[in-house]
Amino acid sequence: MSTVSLFPFAETWWVYGVFVLFVLGMLALDLGVFHRKAHAVGFREAAAWSVAWVCVAMCVGAVLYLWASARFASDARLLAVPGFLPDAAARQVFLEYLTGYVVEKALSVDNIFVFVVLFNFFGVPAAYQHRVLYWGILGALVFRAIFIALGALLLQFAWVMYVFGAFLVVTGIKIIFGPDKPVDPADNVVLKALKRWIPLTHDLHGPHLFARENGRLLGTPLLLALVFIEVSDVVFAIDSVPAIFAITREPLIVFTSNICAILGLRALFFLLAGAVGKFHLLKYGLGFVLIFVGLKMAWLNDAFGGKFPIAWSLGIIAALLAASIGLSLAFPPDAEREA
């Protein structure tokens, strides 16, 4: 595919706006209608919502494909590029969107483990966890938009691709060979800073982030959990955003695939929270995925004439993730095997 930008921001800014309004509408429908009353989300409900969010993501991809196909067929600037084929370019856009979605969805499993630890540490009841994650998703939308904008700006410099690629390779190697480090919020600088700056209470006050005690406005444990979730998302975005930029250089594809994957994170949490320990070999799959996309960004794209085949990328990533999940189930952890 041509190195010419397919979706210049000056021409497609309204698409970002429409997509953001759609996402906000879906979130408002989610919390205002389906989860208006706080309750513990069971496995069946989580499974149904997981399927629903995947369907939403696929619909967004289909709309992106149809719109791109119509746009490319009437864009004189792109049609003037030698070898540019509108239908092939639209299919490439969809495959890049789908690959970015799969990568972000897989990397978000690490977030789930962190969420489990945070909710247990701060004593957040199951009935209020969905509400905390809801506000966490809203914050993630803002932070991801900032990271993606910065990434698009930095990637205008060719050398940044090699830096990002090397960073992803090193991160993947650390995930594979590095020891598992338990998350300990009690020893975190963020918690210490919050205790210094914001008056806090150890008591829950329903689903509220703030509450009044003796006339003082205090932050509740739900506020602490929310702050830690936002901080953890920023940390994970440092890996996931460059990983998707390794798949596509188009910020619109990065933004839509990233956000659609995040939208289903709450349902995925309730679906997998109790079974996340079973996927003990998934970290190796994620590590190899990051190594692959890092090599793709820093070397493979150049080796294949500027663009490593996206269908191959999707197949390799899916195979790595499927193998790590399958091996995790086939060879359970020692403690589970003994039980």
At residue 204, the 3 state secondary structure works out as: coil
Structural contact between residues 127 and 40, judged by C-beta atoms closer than 8 angstroms: yes
User: What's the CA gap between 172 and 166, in Å, rounded?
Assistant: 10
User: What's the CA gap between 266 and 119, in Å, rounded?
Assistant: 13
Q: What is the DSSP letter of 278?
A: G
Closest CA to 217 of 202, 204, 200, 203: 200
Q: Which amino acid is at 88?
A: A
- Token output for 202: 């150890």
Closest CA to 65 of 257, 258, 308, 317: 257
User: Which pairs from 70-77 meet CB under 8 Å and 24+ separation?
Assistant: 72/6, 77/4
CA–centroid distance for 118 within its chain:
18
The pLDDT of 112-139, averaged and rounded, is: 85
pLDDT band at 338 (very low <50, low <70, confident <90, very high): very low
pLDDT at 182: 61
Q: What is the pLDDT of residues 23-74, one digit of tens each?
A: 999 988 887 777 777 777 888 888 999 999 999 999 999 999 999 999 999 9
The pLDDT of 169-198, averaged and rounded, is: 77
Please give the mean pLDDT across all residues of the chain: 87
At residue 219, the 3 state secondary structure works out as: strand
Q: Find all residues with CB under 8 Å of 117, minimum gap 6, and list them.
A: 182, 183, 185
